[in-house]
A and B are shown apart, each in its own frame.
Chain A
Amino acid sequence: MTLDSRFALLAPKTDARPDMTKLNLIAASKLGLLSLLLSLVCSIAVAQDIPTDAASISAGEALFTANCKTCHKVHQKLVGPALADVYNRAPSIDWIKSFIKNSQAVIASGDAYAVKLYNEYNKTQMTAFTSFKDEQIMQLLAYIKAETDKGPEVAAVPVAGAPAAGGDSTGIPSSYLNAIVIGLVLILVLLVVILGFLVSALKRFLDTKELSDDDREQVDSPITLNSIVKSSGFTFIVVFLVGAIGFKALINGLYSIGVQQGYAPKQPIAFSHKIHAGQYEIECKYCHTGVLKGKSATIPSVNICMNCHNQIKEGALYGTAELSKITEAYEKNIPVQWVRIHNLPDLAYFNHAQHVNVGGIECQTCHGPIQEMEVVQQYSLLTMGWCIDCHRKTDVNAKGNAYYDKLVELHNKSSKSAMKVEDIGGLECAKCHY
């Protein structure tokens, strides 16, 4: 017997006040009896109607995966309620059938249970599955019943000592590197020891010989720090090292003036390209919508963030701390002031649409492995030499583009190699400077 029917019997009694008339009591007990009968019928119907054979359950599972699982789980609330035990909970099997086929109609009809559900789940409408046949719904219920009887899955305990994901997949593992370094240090120490033995052996050998006074002084003079520092060899090495390193640093420093490679400013929200573009494989264009159409690739406005973050409120790295900033900006209608990283000088013109849309260049060609960057930095030099170099090496993406037909024809008359960007004026000053 289900719990509901017992409550239905009890309810009138607990409500009954001493002054209640007999009529009321009779009516109440009738009602209770009726609901008892109804639920009896229902539970019999449930027991009889929901198939338990394996074929129905597997058919139901296929239907569930294809149509329901995005919003429902059997043992857990997702977008919609957990479905375990639904056949006992819902008013009737027929109610379930009509709700699945067209939930809106059931809600519109004023059905109390449906309206309650609708309000409880933030007035989210369930998709109408008008094409479902009654027997398919029974198969679904068969699957849900089978899962309900199985009980919730025990969360898998992560295996201790499992190899950590990520890390360097290429190159020499760091443990090997350490072993190599330690080995080298040992060899060097060994060398010093051997040299020390050699020096003392030579000294003993010279002690036995007859030597002039000058030579004797040379042999007997002790090796001190002072004598090392004053030796000409030492001075030469120090002067050479400081000079060479200083010169290299100076040249590098001078070359880096006006080059912002490595610029990685802190952004108002700690956004990770590694998670969005890498882990979840969201295309760059989804957020940078201008990249095919205009000069700037554009930084997404908050409504684009909210397409996902209306639901995903907790991040993997910072919990809710960073994501709450997006919600706040959205609610207050204030743009997030992202810091622009790639600042091409105003004297040069660059257009994303020309390179990405027409040229078919990958974002990573210039921006580097963005999908691996936690914090984005300027990857390329963005100097004129860097631009020119690429224009000399890159073939024009002329395939299927009628604009280039004549140019390719002309080029092929005079040359046998593929048409590069420089062949159609890619090195002309006024292409970029005007």
Chain B
Amino acid sequence: MKLLRHIFLFGSLGTLAMACGAGGDDQGTEYAPNMYHSVAYEPYTQITDPEAGAWLTSIEYSESEMPGHAEFYNSNTLNAAVMNVNMNMRTPPANTVPRNKQGWLPYRLPKDSLEIGAKRKSPLDSTAQVLADGKVLYESYCQHCHGAKGAGDGKVADKYAGIANLKGDAYKNITEGHIFHVITHGKGLMWAHGSQISPEDRWKIAKYVKALQK
């Protein structure tokens, strides 16, 4: 019977250990939690419980600066007052201007200045590399609506009415500046894509769309 008891122990230990795995809403058991959780802010994850990790921490946090905080807490409460959420991202300081790798200033023409925007010339040359990059970008950001050949027949066009046929007569003569402006701000039924695509990539897509239209 001693053997039987051992067997029983094995069985129950096994069942217990199975509960360590992850699945559904359960992240599973952590092996070394104080090496897992970032003390600095980490994208898309925050530990909002100030007490988290108190049971294993050896660091003594100053009561005046961080009252009641334990090791795992890494939540940014700076946005809580504004939006009622703890968001890691912070608004840029006032009066600062973002510059990209090429040193370009942000595109500041407002949405209704399409005519002025259409006159702007592309800063890129029509090299094979630019066109190849443009193709990849077009496939990522445009194809599912405007279609592989630009005929407005992408898969999403079944659901989203009013997708422009870039090969249609109305769009034959649009300039690269026009395309850049419309990607940035949207036009008609298309919404703004400026937040998703960098200015340089927008010019590349414009070059590729002009090549598609030929």
Residues in A lying within 8 Å of B, measured CB to CB: 66-67, 70-71, 78-79, 124-125, 127-132, 239, 242-243, 245-250, 252-254, 256-266, 279-283, 285-286, 289, 295-296, 298-299, 301, 303-304, 306-308, 310-312, 333-335, 337-338, 340, 343, 345-347, 378
Contact (Cβ within 8 A) B144 A280: yes
Residues of A near B152 (CB, < 8 A) are 70
- Contact between chains at B139 and A283 (CB < 8 Å): yes
Residues 176-197 of B at the A interface (beta carbon under 8 Å): 188-189, 191-193, 195-197
Task: Tell me if B59 is interfacial: C-beta within 8 Å of chain A.
Answer: no
B30 contacts A248, C-beta separation under 8 Å: no
Which residues of chain B from 42 to 89 have any CB-CB distance to chain A below 8 Å in the complex? 42-45, 83-85, 87
10 extra A-B contacts, CB within 8 A, seeds A283-B144, A303-B195: A66-B151, A128-B170, A246-B7, A258-B30, A259-B28, A261-B21, A263-B24, A266-B24, A286-B140, A333-B83
Stretch binding the partner chain, chosen from B90-98, B118-126, B159-167, B205-213: B159-167
Report yes or no: A256 in contact with B21, Cβ–Cβ below 8 A: yes
Please report the C-alpha to C-alpha distance between residue A70 and residue B188 in the assembled complex, in whole angstroms: 13
Could you tell me if B37 and A346 are in contact, using CB atoms closer than 8 angstroms? yes
A-B CB proximity, top 9 nearest: A253-B17, A249-B14, A258-B31, A256-B21, A246-B10, A246-B11, A79-B162, A246-B14, A250-B14
Query: 5 A-B pairs, CB-CB below 8 angstroms?
Result: A70-B165, A256-B18, A263-B27, A281-B155, A335-B85
Inter-subunit contact A131/B160 (CB<8 Å) = no
Give chain A residues whose Cβ lies under 8 Å from the Cβ of B169. 66-67, 129, 131-132
Enumerate chain B residues within 8 angstroms of A334, measured Cβ to Cβ.
83-85
Known: A70-B163, A308-B156, A346-B36. A239 touches B20 (CB 8 A): no
B185–chain A nearest beta-carbon distance, Å? 12
List of A residues within 8 angstroms of B19 by Cβ:
253
| Residue numbers in A under 8 Å from B188 (CB-CB) | 124-125, 127
Partner of B140 from the list A239, A283, A311, A337 (CB cut-off 8 Å) is: A283
Min C-beta distance of A152 to chain B, whole Å: 18
In the bound assembly, the distance between CA atoms of A125 and B162 in angstroms comes to: 11
Query: Dominant SS at the B interface?
Result: loop
Task: Assess whether B27 is in contact with A260, with CB atoms less than 8 Å apart.
Answer: yes
CB distance from A139 to the nearest CB of B (A): 13
Q: Are B30 and A257 in contact (CB-based, < 8 A)? A: yes
Q: Name the one of A66, A254, A266 contacting B17, with C-beta atoms under 8 angstroms.
A: A254
Report whether B189 and A263 are in contact in the complex, using a CB–CB cutoff of 8 Å: no
Q: Please classify how large the interface on chain B is, using the bins under 10, 10 to 19, 20 to 34, 35 or more.
A: 35 or more
Report the bound CA distance from A99 to B170 in whole Å.
14
Residue of A nearest to B44 (CB): A340
A249 in contact with B165 (CB, 8 Å) = no
CB-based nearest B residue for A132: B169
Give the interface SS of chain A, mostly helix, strand, loop or mixed.
loop
A242/B168 contact (C-beta < 8 A), A286-B144, A304-B195, A310-B191 known: no
**B130 in the interface, Cβ–Cβ < 8 Å?**
no
Who on chain A is nearest to B195 by CB?
A303
Which one of B11, B161, B164, B193 contacts A242 once the chains associate, using CB atoms below 8 Å? B11
* B17 and A250 contact, CB distance less than 8 A: yes
Give the Cβ gap from A140 to chain B, nearest Cβ, in Å. 12
CA distance A250 to B31 in the complex (A): 16
Decide if B157 touches A70 in the complex (CB within 8 Å). yes
**Contact mask for chain B residues 126-153; partner A; CB cutoff 8 A; 1 contact, 0 none:** 0000000000000111011000000110
> Are A245 and B14 in touch, CB under 8 angstroms?
yes
**CB-based contact B165/A67 at 8 Å:** yes
A131 touches B144 (CB 8 A): no
A78 x B162 contact (CB < 8 A) = yes
Question: Judging by beta carbons under 8 Å apart, are A250 and B13 in contact?
Answer: yes
Please tell me if the beta carbons of A289 and B170 are within 8 angstroms of each other in the complex: no
Across the interface, do A279 and B155 meet the contact criterion of CB distance under 8 Å? yes
Contact A311 B22 (CB under 8 A): no
A306, B151: Cα distance in complex, Å = 23
* Interface check B115, CB cutoff 8 A: no
Name the CB-closest residue of A to B14. A249
B4 at the interface (CB under 8 A from A): yes
- Given A67-B170, A71-B162: A256 in contact with B14 (beta carbons within 8 A): no
> Closest residue of chain B to A125, judged by CB?
B188
Query: A266 CA to B27 CA in the complex, in Å?
Result: 12
| Given A66-B167, A335-B85: A296 touches B43 (CB 8 Å cut-off) | yes
Interface-centre pick from B8, B16, B25, B144 (highest chain A CB count, 10 A): B144
